[in-house]
Amino acid sequence: MSIWECCELLNEFVDESDPDLDEPQIEHLLQTAEAIRRDYPDEDWLHLTALIHDLGKVLLHPGFGGDPQWCVVGDTFPLGCAFDESIVHHQYFKQNPDSNNPALNTKLGIYSENCGLDKVTMSWGHDMYMYLVAKANKTTLPPAGLFIIRFHSFYAMHKSGAYKYLMNDEDQEMLKWLHVFNKYDLYSKSKVLVNQEEVKPYYLSLIEKYFPAKLRW
């Protein structure tokens, strides 16, 4: 199906993990994208990234397996090294066998200093799913767009500054764009709904620019 068809599928879902949002997901996507579009009018890739960043939540849909919300939404974090205390509900990691595995519970674990986040295995969720879909369908979004999609729920890193020792110089540059995006992801929510039919032609033009007409999901 197309990107826009996937957006419309999300009309059926409200993210239970988001205390600020009780509107369908497509409203959140459009509000985020439109807010960024107003402030960064020349960065069309960022407008589209905002529109599609949460499309991985389609995993909640019965047609995609109907995964429960706990394994689709919420914060993401690296696997294969120590769980940082800034991760939400960190106290429950003591029940995870990795916490007692000496190969996995040190600062670097299986990684090397500044190896780059592209080498890091992240916990599963909607971020990683949409990142893989975009890559597999050969999107022409710039690397910063893919970085935002993959790591926007990695709050320990972009909110608390954890795991910087795994990042390389390229990650540090792209993190600047994630910080820009994050302000709109969190603070663009409004009861004033976006006129979908009015903005749809603009976003369809961006989808056509950066993605194939139909994607394999």
Q: Name the residue with tokens 């020349």.
A: 42
Q: What's the token pair of residue 58?
A: 């389609």
Binding residue positions? 28, 53-54, 126, 152, 185
* Closest to 178 measured CA to CA, from 55, 74, 53: 53
Q: What's the token pair of residue 124?
A: 């599963």
Q: 49 with 39: CB under 8 angstroms?
A: no
Residues 6+ apart with CB under 8 A from 55: 3, 6, 7, 10, 29, 126, 130, 133
Binding residue positions for Fe cation? 28, 53-54, 126, 152, 185
